[in-house]
Structure 1
Amino acid sequence: MSLEKITSQLNLSGKEKKLPPVELWDPPYCGEINLRIKKDGSWYHNDTVFKRQNLVKLFASVLKKEGQDYFLVTPVEKIKITVEDVPFILSQWSWRQGEYGEMQVATSLGDEFILGENHPLHISDNGCLYITVRRNLLAKVHRNVFYQWADIAKARQTPQGTELFLPCGGYELVLGHF
């Protein structure tokens, strides 16, 4: 499967559109493509980095995870790709409605959402923070964002030790136990 064939089936106009319903599509498996999303969130094809951000956003819009595997899907094809960790990086955040109101976050690809029940924070076994972006796709919290959160976090004692957390619009963002 070639990159050109995939892009020809998708909209490359660059205009904002709502995400395609990939969770409803179950096309036949067409093989694997040498496309890799690195741990830092950069996308590569045949060991060459994508330079067009619009193309990366386009492919991210048709990304689907099944079990531990990632696929680019259209209504008629499903192509496996490699993801080293998770496909997105959470790179920005801000308070809405003042300090400790709702927290708006954004990925490096421009996905924006409010942290909370629909977009929860997960702490991995190795202590890395991840947030559900959409469907079952995760974003890793960038180190700079984590340090900014840790700088303003509150501490409390729990049976597991000291816990750092941020009150966040009725939701507590637990950064970890120390």
Structure 2
Amino acid sequence: MSDRAPPPQSLLNSLPQRGELQRREPAPVHLWNPPLSGEMDMRIARDGTWYHEGEPIRRLALAQLFSTILRLDQDARYYLVTPVERWAIQVDDAPFIAVRLSVSGEGEQQQLLFHTSLEDEVPLDDEHPLRVELDPQSGEPSPYIRVRANLDALVSRTVFYELADLAVEAEVAGVQRIGVWSGGGFFPIDGAD
């Protein structure tokens, strides 16, 4: 019998087989610092679709699993990370997309909850802020909500229209802004930052 530990499994070979996948909490990828394993032919499109080798990943549970090991590093690149591997992947815009909005309460007591295409639920609050970037050429807004760590979800156009319907004026740092209340905080949506 050998005293040697078994070699670490490859990222793709260690994935559970069909039927074994369950929704999981994100892995502690911030604690892992393996060397770069290379580039994986994986891409997350602007509409939130995950692709592997040019084909869309059709199993929601598989995309959810990959999302639990996703990390954005200081080099502004996205990686799938395990304790022993780190694979670079391409992300067209943000790795998640917010496709639905739930609203409870009213006025300053209102709570907004965003739902992503991967079934994450993200409350709009100080830990999960909202920001709106304006395209310098067209002025078109691109709203984002923080999902976790430094990973964001692009807010879909439909959901942004819902936010606009909920918008009110409030004073922020002495300036009148247009935004929404959630979790006791006011979040501007006018892109005037």
> CA RMSD of the aligned region, Å?
2.2
Q: 8 Å contact 1:160–1:177 — kept in the other structure? A: no
1:46-87 Cα shifts (integer Å, max 9, x gaps): 211111111100101100111210000111000000001110
Q: For structure 1, list consecutive stretches of 5 or more residues without a partner in the other structure.
A: none
Cα distance in 2, alignment partners of residues 6 and 51 from structure 1: 19
TM-score under structure 2 normalisation? Answer: 0.81
Give runs of ≥4 in structure 1 deviating > 4 Å. Answer: 156-162
1:26 aligned to which of 22, 33, 36: 33
Alpha-carbon distance, 1:7 to partner: 3.1
Q: 8 Å contact 1:162–1:177 — kept in the other structure? A: no
Alpha-carbon distance, 1:9 to partner: 2.2
Cα distance in 2, alignment partners of residues 161 and 118 from structure 1: 23
Identity percentage over the alignment? 36
**Counterpart check, 1:150 vs 2:164:** yes
Cα distance change of structure 1 residues 46 and 102 upon mapping to structure 2, 3 Å threshold = same
Q: How do 1:70-109 and structure 2 match up within 5 A?
A: 70-96=78-104, 98-100=105-107, 101-109=110-118
Q: How do 1:89-168 and structure 2 match up within 5 A?
A: 89-96=97-104, 98-100=105-107, 101-126=110-135, 127-155=141-169, 163-168=177-182
Alpha-carbon distance, 1:155 to partner: 3.5
What's 2:184 paired with? 170
Aligned residues: 173
1:10-31 Cα shifts (integer Å, max 9, x gaps): 4452223322101101011110
TM-score under structure 1 normalisation? Answer: 0.87
Q: Which moved more, 1:113-122 or 1:157-166?
A: 157-166
Larger Rg belongs to: 2
Alpha-carbon distance, 1:34 to partner: 1.0
Cα distance change of structure 1 residues 34 and 25 upon mapping to structure 2, 3 Å threshold = same
SS in 1 for 2:189: strand
SS in 2 for 1:165: strand
Alpha-carbon distance, 1:175 to partner: 1.0
Cα distance change of structure 1 residues 159 and 120 upon mapping to structure 2, 3 Å threshold = closer
